[in-house]
Amino acid sequence: MSIILNENSKVIVQGITGRDGSFHTKQMVEYGTKVVGGVTPGKGGQEVHGVPVYNSVAEAKKQTQANVAVIYVPAKFAKAAILEDIDAGIELIICITEGVPVIDMVDVQSVMKGKNIRIVGPNCPGVISPGKCKVGIMPGHIHKPGPIGVVSRSGTLTYEVVYNLTLNNIGQSSCVGLGGDPIIGTRFIDVLEMFMKDDETKGIVMVGEIGGEDEQRAAEYIKKEVTKPIVGFIAGRTAPPGKRMGHAGAIISSGDSTAEAKREILKSSGVQVVDIPDEIPAIFKNKL
């Protein structure tokens, strides 16, 4: 089985009539994802790539029984979009939008407490269960069904890892892009736990980067709980302290948030850490 998404996931697209929402709706529909509705206030009754548009998430959920929402709205509207999903009882919220203010995500986290809802992102590429369902902006054609679970803070590096795995005829069970912001809804430990419980996942790739403490916390979890082969890569080895590198969360703020420190922490937890993503397929060919 796959994690987070499967072939039965029913997806609504918030911001479906916008440029990005429309483009990626088409890609998701063509991949085979069950996109059952879209939401743009004031544009209910329209269709986008054969997908009906509703004025609100509540209306869309009532009409479609959707359990997944993907958000492409501008950053200043992202908080309202997430809260609308929570109010409507959407079980999985994937926020692609980047530039969401940190304070908005603090507010979202306080509202989520005690609720059985998962958020992936913001500022993430989404989630894909190859051959079953993709929700987000990742290129579906580079993915291949198989035994390797991929979890990453970087969208672009996710694609590079997946491309190299597929090129070497090694498929993926699920690929999860966590997002690069300081406050995100799903973290490494959450996904590692799901991969450990998933019989289809035989090995794991974890892609981290400078800044924050997620990789350090994941290393502690890996040392205690992860028994499947796991390979890691940390981006940002040449990044100078105090300078943001791409993602809002990718900034070295302490000694153990450097790439080299994170590499050593992961190695000490039993992770085989590579210098470049191209080295990953050869490792799994010897382990699977």
The answer, yes or no, to whether residue 233 has pLDDT greater than 50, is: yes
Q: List pLDDT tens digits, range 241-262.
A: 555 555 444 444 555 678 889 9
- Give pLDDT, residue 53: 98
Note the pTM of the prediction, 2 decimals: 0.93
Give the domain ranges of the chain: 10-120, 138-287
CA distances from 157 to 51, 163, 269 (A): 31, 10, 22
* Ramachandran quadrant class, 230 (left: phi over 0; alpha: psi -120 to 50; beta: rest): beta
The rounded Cα 60 to chain-centroid distance in angstroms is: 23
Note whether 242 and 283 are within 8 A (CB). no
> 46 falls in which pLDDT band (50, 70, 90)?
very high
Compute the average pLDDT of residues 143-171: 96
Candidate list 24, 49, 143, 247, residue with the active-site label: 247
- Give pLDDT, residue 250: 46
Is 247 known to be catalytic? yes
Compute the average pLDDT of residues 12-33: 98
The rounded Cα 76 to chain-centroid distance in angstroms is: 21
Torsion angle of the four alpha carbons 196, 228, 136, 9, in this order, in degrees rounded to the nearest 10: -40
- CATH class of the domain at 138-287: alpha beta
Note whether 172 and 127 are within 8 A (CB). no
Q: CA 193 to CA 55: how far, in whole Å?
A: 37
Q: List pLDDT tens digits, range 83-123.
A: 999 999 999 999 999 999 999 999 999 999 889 999 999 99
For 10-120, CATH number out of 1.10.167.10, 2.40.30.10, 3.40.50.720, 1.10.760.10 equals: 3.40.50.720
Domains 10-120 and 138-287 are alike in CATH topology? yes
Looking at every residue in the chain, the average pLDDT score rounds to: 93
